[in-house]
Structure 1
Amino acid sequence: MKLITFHFAGGNQYSFSKIFKGHTNNHIPFALQRDTDDLDLNEAIHNFLLDINEKIFKNSPYVIYGHSMGALIGYLICQKLQEDDLPMPQKLIISGKKAASIPREKKLAHLSDNEFWNEILTLGGIPDEMQNYPELIEYYLPILRHDFKLVENYQYEKKSKLNIPIDVFYGSEESTEEEMLGWQNETTEKVTITKLEGNHFFIFNHVEYFRNYFDNLIHQK
């Protein structure tokens, strides 16, 4: 079983290294290319699909997992795979993302640097010591702003339901189950919703839990 992953805003191919430690042969992380300011989600999906076709063999079972921005990307990729009649993942796994049909309540990409950074801090996931390194903040700000702009420009479009199950995880401090229930409208198969304690980056408070979860996926018959 191959584990294809898509990172959250500001992340990279190493974003899930703690969770997938020991799975170098199974884990295939995909990273967003940020070499242009006008990249939109459709272009990003197209680029990812080209890579997936190169790295996934037709006879190789796989799942797709994404957190936050990565969850949206994973969902859109599954839509495109199904539209093009390409081999589908056995499951779509989502964390830190409300149902795709729910519009973002708050947009951040247009804010000033200080306002934008303060909003980022409220999401969690930023080490406290990073505040002592303004050069790091200066480096990450345009990366984060690029990714937030990408997601905030997304307009939901109702399409045919997926034909694969979806597992949804969310943090107790960031969302409610009601906000996750909309994922049930995106597939004809089973949707399993799980709440875990924590903020937007709750996954890193439950590394062992997710290691076991993905271990079970890899070894399932």
Structure 2
Amino acid sequence: MKIIAFTFAGGNKHSFQIIAKNIENFTVIEYPGRGFRMGEDLITDIDSLIEDLFQKVKSEISQHQDYIIYGHSMGALLGYLLCQKIEELGFQKPAKLVVSGRKPPVTKRENLFCHLPDNLFWDEVVKIGGIPDELINHQELIEFFTPILKADLTIVEVYKYQKKNKLNIPIDVFYGSEESTEDEMQGWEEESNEKISITQMKGDHFFIFKHVTFFTQYFKNLTQKLTI
């Protein structure tokens, strides 16, 4: 069983390393403009990004019939949209979609800041959390990451929900207690005909990194259960 993962805004193939280092077949699909795809242009159009990532996913699922799609925050939205595309085109669908740190796709974002000047934009990014101290205080790194983060957050902020057929894929949803409420997360139940599981975890937007042991074991157990 292969886990195909998509990161939060500004992430790269190492973003889930602390969770995935002891999990076999945990593959992070990297977005253009970072990591080993550094030479490629950043993408700010969500349809273009989904098409780009779909081509990468196709090569992965052709090698492993059984797989799971996982995404955190921006990655959760992309994982959801890729599941739609996979089903629409008749490809082998994942055994499960796992999303964390993302309200239901139908939810409109209230705090929009991708259009702000760089200094104000960065202030908003820091408020979200998850930025290492060495990055916050390193001007060269800030200048390097700002265009990447702006491109990714443009994807998220410009996205407009389109009502389509429900997925036929089970979905496990995880959210941070300091970021969302159970009522806000209920909209995920409208996104699939299969079982939806919604779980609250203590923490903020990046709660997954406060529960490393839990998520490492969760993914291990998930792959074992789904392959039995």
TM-score under structure 1 normalisation? 0.95
Task: Give the equivalent residue in structure 1 for 2:185.
Answer: 180
Any runs of at least 4 consecutive aligned residues in structure 1 with deviations exceeding 4 A, and if so which? none
C-alpha distance after superposition, 1:30-60 (max 9, x if no partner): 0111333554111111111111211213762
Unaligned stretches of 5+ residues in structure 2: 34-39
Q: Name the CA shift for 1:59/1:147 in 2 (closer, same or farther; >3 Å).
A: closer
Provide the rounded CA distance (Å) in 1 between the counterparts of 2:200 and 2:64: 33
Contact 2:61–2:92 under 8 Å retained in 1: no
| Equivalences for residues 75-86 of structure 1 within 5 A | 75-86=80-91
Provide the rounded CA distance (Å) in 2 between the counterparts of 1:200 and 1:59: 31
Instruction: Say if 2:205 is the partner of 1:200.
Output: yes
Instruction: Say if 2:74 is the partner of 1:91.
Output: no
Contact 1:65–1:93 under 8 Å retained in 2: yes
SS at match of 1:18: helix
Provide the rounded CA distance (Å) in 1 between the counterparts of 2:140 and 2:42: 21
Contact 1:169–1:195 under 8 Å retained in 2: yes
Task: Give the equivalent residue in structure 2 for 1:32.
Answer: 31
Of residues 36-45 and 148-157 in structure 1, the stretch that sits farther from structure 2 once superposed is 36-45
Unaligned stretches of 5+ residues in structure 1: none
Of residues 109-118 and 124-133 in structure 1, the stretch that sits farther from structure 2 once superposed is 124-133
Matched to 2:199, the amino acid is T
Provide the rounded CA distance (Å) in 2 between the counterparts of 1:108 and 1:146: 12
Provide the rounded CA distance (Å) in 2 between the counterparts of 1:143 and 1:65: 21
Task: Give the equivalent residue in structure 2 for 1:124.
Answer: 129
Contact 1:58–1:87 under 8 Å retained in 2: no
Matched to 1:190, the amino acid is K
CA RMSD of aligned residues (A): 1.3
Task: Give the equivalent residue in structure 1 for 2:176.
Answer: 171
* Aligned equivalent of 1:133, options 113, 138, 142: 138
Matched to 1:175, the amino acid is S
Percent of aligned pairs with the same amino acid: 50
TM-score under structure 2 normalisation? 0.93
Give the number of aligned pairs: 220
C-alpha distance after superposition, 1:131-173 (max 9, x if no partner): 3211111111111011001111111000000001100000111
Contact 2:69–2:97 under 8 Å retained in 1: yes
Matched to 2:60, the amino acid is K
Task: Give the equivalent residue in structure 2 for 1:18.
Answer: 18
Provide the rounded CA distance (Å) in 2 between the counterparts of 1:173 and 1:74: 23
Provide the rounded CA distance (Å) in 1 between the counterparts of 2:19 and 2:132: 18
C-alpha distance after superposition, 1:65-93 (max 9, x if no partner): 00000000000000001111110001100
Q: Name the CA shift for 1:125/1:91 in 2 (closer, same or farther; >3 Å).
A: same
